[in-house]
Structures are given as structure tokens and as C-alpha cells.
Structure 1
Amino acid sequence: MSEDPLKALSDMASEAHARIQASHQHINPVLEVRRGMRDTGIPADVMTIDCLRTRRRITLILHDEQPGVLLYQFITMEQEVGNEFQSMALSQVDAQKLFQWIEGYFG
């Protein structure tokens, strides 16, 4: 992947967000890129996708020490991010995959 992985993930999430809003108005996910980990010295970028109606959150992490890997966790907005992450190759993630996660977890 030649472009910045965070930009690529952001673009995929934006596309998934637009598709969700077009087909599932009740979900209305909120996307946010968080700098907190970098600010505390952890070399990782974090994106959260929240559903305010269900209070559920999908946390996506791109860690500098695991290039090409997306770490992800399905939690609630009240939970702290835990240590138990699932992972998959970033090359296997696309807007359709994110759409399916949002639709399945928030729907």
C-alpha cells in the first residue's frame, strides 16, 4: 500500500459511512480519528466508529510495529479498550468489510 495507511482506512470508513447512511438512517455512525495513543508515546493511530443509539463502538488500530495489519475490537462506548484485539491484513479490509461490520454490529 503506497499511500498512508491511516488515510486509506479513513477513505474506506468514509465510503462505508456514506453507504450506511443511505441504507440505514437509524444507525448514523460517528467516525473519529484519535491521537491519544501517539500523544502518550504509543506509535499507533486509532479510529473509532460509534453508534450513539446502541452505545456500541468499533475500535480500529494501525500500529507502527505491525505494518500492514489492522487491529480491531468490538466494544461499547463505556468500555475501555482492552488488550484482546482481533487482527487482519489491512489489504483484506475495504469499504464493504467496514460496511458489513457497521451494519452487523450497530444494526
Structure 2
Amino acid sequence: MSEAALEALSDMITEAHTRIQQAYEHINPVVGVRRGMRDVGIPADAMTIDCLQTRGRILLILHDEQPGVLLYQFGTMDAEAGDDFQPMNLSEVSADTLFTWMKDYFSA
């Protein structure tokens, strides 16, 4: 995946993270970029959005073989990711999308 796509997604997450902290102090998500998939030969970058209070995790994948697509999954910090990722065109993802996911999933 291009650095531009990763940077764009990072910018959206930063904006959504700032907004969620302002509106929902109890959520306070932790965002991480994980490039370890490339270290084991998988041409993809992963980002996690974790909620320490609920132990929820939103996992986002940008895979080189699916340019322009964001793969996402809602799970927990305590479980390995499954194979049931949902695809979404990266062009349809916005800071609003990520804000809503964090609000809805981490408040449940």
C-alpha cells in the first residue's frame, strides 16, 4: 500500500481520535500502527484502535494486493484477529466514519 494511503488514514484517525476524546472522555482510545506484517512477508500495514476500558479493538488493514480498499474488523484486545474482515473503499472512509465506529463500538 502506498505511503500516501497510510498517511491519509493516519490523518483521519488522528482527527477522529481528537474528537472522540473531546466528546467521550471515558473512551480514550489508543491508536497503534503495526508494520510487522511486512516483516513476515505479508504486504500490508495494520492499524489498531484499542479501548482499554472495554478491551475492544478496531483493526484496520491496508493490503498492497487490494489498493484503495480498507479491510476492517471489530474484535477484542484479548483475541486474535479472525478472517472475517469487511472491505470498504478507502475513498468512502472519513474521520466521521472512524469517529462513529469508535463511539458506537467502544460505548456498547
Q: What TM-score do you get using the length of structure 1 for normalisation?
A: 0.96
In the TM superposition, what whole-angstrom CA distance separates every residue of 1:74-94 from its partner, at most 9, and x where no partner exists?
000011011110011000000
Which residue of 1 is the match for residue 104 of structure 2? 104
Distance in 1 separating the partners of 2:47 and 2:34: 6
In 2, Cα distance between equivalents of 1:16 and 1:46 = 17
Q: How many percent identity over aligned positions? A: 68
Alignment-derived partner of residue 63 in structure 2 = 63
1:49–1:90 CA distance, 2 compared to 1 (3 A): same
What do the CA deviations read for 1:6-25 (whole angstroms, capped 9, x no partner)?
00000000000000000000
Structure 2 unaligned blocks of 5 or more: none
After TM superposition, list the pairs within 5 Å mapping 1:1-107 onto structure 2.
Answer: 4-107=4-107
- In 2, the alpha carbon distance for the partners of 1:38 and 1:82 equals 18
Count of paired positions: 106
Letter in 2 for 1:23: A
- Give every structure 1 segment of 4 or more consecutive aligned residues whose post-TM-superposition deviation is greater than 3 Å: none
For residue 47 of structure 2, give the secondary structure of its aligned residue in structure 1.
Answer: strand
* Structure 1 position 103, deviation (Å): 0.2
Structure 2 letter corresponding to 1:53 = Q
Computed over aligned residues only, the root mean square deviation of the Cα atoms, in angstroms, reads: 1.1
Cα distance in 2 for partners of 1:56, 1:39 equals 26
TM-score (norm 2): 0.96
